[in-house]
Amino acid sequence: MTRTSAVSRANLDLVEEYQRRWREDPESVDASWRNFFEGYDLGVSHSGPEAEAFANAPPPAQQVVKAVTRLVDAYREMGHNLADLDPLKLTPRRQTDEQLELGNFGLSETDLDREFYSKLGQNRHGTLREIIGVLRETYCRTIGVEFMHIRDLEIRRWLFERMEPVRNHPQFDIKQKRRIIYKLNEAELFETFLHKNFVGQKRFSLEGGEMLIPLLDGVIERSGSLGVQEIVIGMPHRGRLNVLANILHKPYGLIFSEFEGNMPETVAGDGDVKYHLGFSADHVTADKQTVHLTLTPNPSHLEAVDPVVEGRMRAKQRQAKDAQRKLGIPILIHGDAAFAGQGLVAETLNLSQLPGYRTGGTIHIVVNNQIGFTTAPIDARSTRYCTDVAKMIEAPIFHVNGEDPEAVVFVGELATDFRQQFGRDVVIDMVCYRRHGHNEGDEPGFTQPLMYDNIKNRISVREMYTEQLVTSGELSSKEAETIAETFADKLGQVLAEVKREGVEPRTISPGYSSGPWADLTPNFSFTPIETGVSYDVIKQITAVAAATPPGFTPNHKLVRIFQGRVKTVDERGSLDWAHAEALAFGSLLKEGTPVRLSGQDSRRGTFSQRHAVLIDQLTAQPWIPLNNLGDGQAQFCVYDSFLSEAAVLGFDYGYSLDEPNMLIMWEAQFGDFANGAQVIVDQFIASAESKWGRGSGIVMLLPHGYEGQGPEHSSARLERYLQLCAEENIQVCVPSTPAQYFHMLRRQVRRNFRKPLIVMTPKSLLRRKEAVSPVDQLVVGSFRDVLDDPTQPRAARRLILCSGKVYYDLAAKRAEAGKDKDVAIVRVEQLYPFPAEELKKTLLGYPEVRDWVWAQEESQNMGAWSFIAPRLEELMGFPFQYVGRDASASPATGSKLIHDREQNELVEAAVGAAVPHLVCATPVRALAAAGSREGAR
């Protein structure tokens, strides 16, 4: 049966009787009939005698019913096309839409005064003219709504019932209206004060979009009343100072002090411009509820902060044991051009309902200035609305005219209620304008003369709303003037005090004074920390990881693998990389430290090595062995991410900002793929502590190694991470044994400081028979920044320094060439912070060396060579010889044959067996003074 939202009385005897009884006594109407008719408004199909009565009605009646149904749904779907959304009226508002004309539905003017049942009417019925009037009031004024793309009928019904009875027109009391005008005064007068007193300084003004402040205030106030305790905000630079001052309550004096050049002190001392900084504070709502607000620092890369905010909120929800995700809300503020243009927006939206990344819904606020820098919407997107990308997750989208203050706040409260009700993203598109250019020194008239001619002569939204309240008698002219003057005087007094006495700058630290960071320090240390675990623990973890619950059918190949691990431990033999990793995870879990690992195919492992989650071969049900180690253990969270690098790494980085006591890892499918997340690496991971004082313990696992798999499956671009190294900001490690990997992971959360850790993880070494470690190396010891040659040929005349997989190829070639006594091979396992003291001590243990070589698989312009060469020369007093591939534009050859030849030639050259022309080998300069052993020392 066709769904409908109104039933014609004409020629339907049963329906006519229903209507008559409904008017006389609605409660006397049979429940089945009442549910039937009300169900039409909800888009619900029915069966039974009611449906039969409708089906048996004369065709004209059926046609009218269907026509009215389609008309109502059409207004719900397309009414926004007629809404008054643009305060600038750049394009004439459409008064009619041919798709909403009566004739398109088989209706005519004669039907307008016919009466229909409808929940839209005041008395459950009304004429078609009245029904259309209600629909236009609801969907075609200063609020336009897109929600009919949502397939969930419950969500659509909830939205019908919230919007249509009140016609999308708020009924605020005088207290609420006064709060709006107070916040508008703060927003506008703050900007004009800065403009007047700090001439020529960039601030990325909010003028034209001042309603963002009352909107955020309304969302926060509503959130507090719904039990929300924490809000994390991400936003671009435009309007950030205003949000900091008037939403997060950052003292005006601190902001004015920053304009005076007195910037906050950071851990490293570099800092950032004032409109990129973050802040946090408690906000006490009007009904005395406390909501903690956090504004996340953000670079000029606009939407890069989006996944970071989501990760932070997920961590906070975990700490609050907020499984329902109701106590914390992420809010993301966007520009219209960025929301439509930046791919990270879509990637972040895609996170919203994924098990490993959902945060219970995000409130997205688009401050729609109708321009991006100098680019008009017609050149900025191929869609009508900048928010159309949000339809991919079926988010409701509220378009609202930024010069209707009450409508804006109403939409904010409705969006907050929706988020709490359904745990889904919701979008507010606040259409406004930008009063100045991109910054206050920019001339917008060069490119948008008509728009800015319009803007130049506009009064502000504060002035409009003040006039509205004065006209209605809800505010006197004198009171309006007093509100403005009082606030302006306050700002003047604060600035005078700053100029007279100054303001002590806030020291930005990674939060070490309180919370989960309280027991940590920002200072890096080379001091080793014992990270071994007992043999009994290793044995127990291995046994549990090999066991499955009754009735579970594991893959037979995995049974053999896990049984082999049990045997290895029982015999105290040597274990491989994946086994060592599982023991690192399991031991931390048993000690109460949670572990999070996410990335593409991370549960199984890209190279089919990890098998952290087992899948029943008959039912496809998952089993996570490491979550069954025993009572009191922490949780192992391992997720296969969606096919994104930037959003997922940004999310896990954000998680690490608020959860330093958890091992948090992001794994690239191949190390090369981290290129897609370079903004997160550059602007957050490498520099956040220096710019904003934000510490992180994020671990990036990047499979790296040359095995002839082509340009995109060889290099994790080690050189790029080394180029970012300074001020002990990150750690870059290339562990070459399972034991080293085990100790490295454990020390990451056992030291008293946190630094991001970049790890070149192996591919072929996962199964190379030489790349194993005795179980006993996991029982005692710690991670070693430098690995001496295990054979320790102290009389060697040639020493090769290297990192990673190439060590095994070098060792094999040395043995083949019979040079075990003549050549020493030393591995640098941590490239940064550079372990100069330990490395020099190791190198001086070879007093007979005359040939000092750095060998690498990567091309000369890649890998560690450019980074390490000057450090080695400074350390030893002479340059090392380079042996490796020639400089090249591409990371690796696409030919396995060529790769094998190159690899063989470079290891031959390194051990001194040959120096072929295909390998770059600079002349050996062993000593500054020819033959002088003392020079080497």
Q: What is the 3-state secondary structure (H, E, C) of 469-500?
A: HHHCCCCCHHHHHHHHHHHHHHHHHHHHHHHH
CA distances from 904 to 282, 440, 467, 711, 806 (A): 63, 61, 83, 18, 11
Tokens 């009605």 appear where? 57
User: What are the two backbone dihedrals, phi and then psi, of residue 164, each rounded to the nearest 5 degrees?
Assistant: -70, -40
Q: Given a cut of 70, is residue 79 above it in pLDDT?
A: yes
Q: Given a cut of 80, is residue 12 above it in pLDDT?
A: no
Q: Given a cut of 90, is residue 819 above it in pLDDT?
A: yes
Cα–Cα distance measured from residue 598 to residue 642, given in angstroms and rounded to the nearest whole number: 10
Crossing angle of helices 174-197/477-501, nearest 10°? 40
State whether residue 545 is helix, strand or coil. Answer: helix
Amino acid at the residue 32: S
Please report the pLDDT score of residue 928 as a whole number. Answer: 29
Cα–Cα distance measured from residue 3 to residue 62, given in angstroms and rounded to the nearest whole number: 11
**If pLDDT is split at 50, 70 and 90, which confidence band does 46 have?**
very low
Cα–Cα distance measured from residue 42 to residue 124, given in angstroms and rounded to the nearest whole number: 14
**Average of pLDDT values for 344-368?**
97
**Average of pLDDT values for 482-495?**
93
Q: How many CA atoms lie within 13 A of 40 on its CB side?
A: 27
How many Cβ atoms sit within 10 Å of the Cβ of residue 311? 31
3-state helix, strand, coil in the chain (%, to 5): 45, 15, 40
Please report the pLDDT score of residue 515 as a whole number. Answer: 83
Length of the chain: 937
Q: Given a cut of 50, is residue 67 above it in pLDDT?
A: yes
Please report the pLDDT score of residue 11 as a whole number. Answer: 35
Cα–Cα distance measured from residue 184 to residue 546, given in angstroms and rounded to the nearest whole number: 63
Q: Are 779 and 532 in contact (CB under 8 A)?
A: yes
Q: Given a cut of 60, is residue 45 above it in pLDDT?
A: no
Strand arrangement of the beta sheet that strand 279-284 belongs to:
143-146, 397-401, 426-431, 363-368, 328-335, 230-234, 290-295, 279-284
**Average of pLDDT values for 334-349?**
96
The answer for residues whose C-beta is within 8 angstroms of residue 59's C-beta and 6 or more apart is: none
Angle at 899 between CA 893 and CA 902, to 5 degrees: 115
**pTM, rounded to two decimals:** 0.90
Q: Given a cut of 70, is residue 637 above it in pLDDT?
A: yes
Q: Given a cut of 80, is residue 438 above it in pLDDT?
A: yes
State whether residue 112 is helix, strand or coil. Answer: coil
Burial call 541-557: b when 16+ CB within 10 Å, e when fewer: bbebbbebeeeeebeee
Question: Among 223-237, 266-280, 390-404, 616-630, whose mean pLDDT is lowest?
Answer: 266-280
Cα–Cα distance measured from residue 722 to residue 718, given in angstroms and rounded to the nearest whole number: 6
Say how far residue 927 (Cα) sits from the centre of its chain.
52
pLDDT digits (tens, 9 = 90+) for 89-100: 988 888 888 899
Cα–Cα distance measured from residue 115 to residue 100, given in angstroms and rounded to the nearest whole number: 19
Cα–Cα distance measured from residue 610 to residue 577, given in angstroms and rounded to the nearest whole number: 9
**If pLDDT is split at 50, 70 and 90, which confidence band does 74 have?**
very high
Q: Given a cut of 70, is residue 865 above it in pLDDT?
A: yes
CA distances from 788 to 87, 360, 672, 770, 863 (A): 71, 51, 29, 16, 21
Cα–Cα distance measured from residue 732 to residue 831, given in angstroms and rounded to the nearest whole number: 6
**If pLDDT is split at 50, 70 and 90, which confidence band does 29 have?**
low
Please report the pLDDT score of residue 40 as a whole number. Answer: 41
Q: Given a cut of 90, is residue 340 above it in pLDDT?
A: yes
Percent of the chain with pLDDT over 70: 87
Comparing 244 with 119, which gets the higher pLDDT? Answer: 244
**Average of pLDDT values for 7-18?**
45
From the list 306, 301, 296, 293, the residue with the least C-alpha distance to 390 is: 306
**If pLDDT is split at 50, 70 and 90, which confidence band does 137 have?**
very high
pLDDT digits (tens, 9 = 90+) for 770-805: 999 999 999 999 999 999 999 999 999 999 999 999
Amino acid at the residue 567: K
List the beta bridge partners of residue 284: 290
The answer for residues whose C-beta is within 8 angstroms of residue 840's C-beta and 6 or more apart is: 875, 876
From the list 739, 728, 729, 703, the residue with the least C-alpha distance to 718 is: 703
Angle at 278 between CA 275 and CA 281, to 5 degrees: 130
Please report the pLDDT score of residue 260 as a whole number. Answer: 72
Please report the pLDDT score of residue 917 as a whole number. Answer: 45
List the beta bridge partners of residue 615: 622
Cα–Cα distance measured from residue 41 to residue 318, given in angstroms and rounded to the nearest whole number: 40
DSSP state string for 167-206 = TT-----HHHHHHHHHHHHHHHHHHHHHHHHSTT------
State whether residue 521 is helix, strand or coil. Answer: strand
**If pLDDT is split at 50, 70 and 90, which confidence band does 23 have?**
low
pLDDT digits (tens, 9 = 90+) for 868-896: 999 999 999 999 999 999 999 999 999 99
Q: Given a cut of 70, is residue 595 above it in pLDDT?
A: yes
Please report the pLDDT score of residue 682 as a whole number. Answer: 95
Q: Given a cut of 90, is residue 268 above it in pLDDT?
A: no
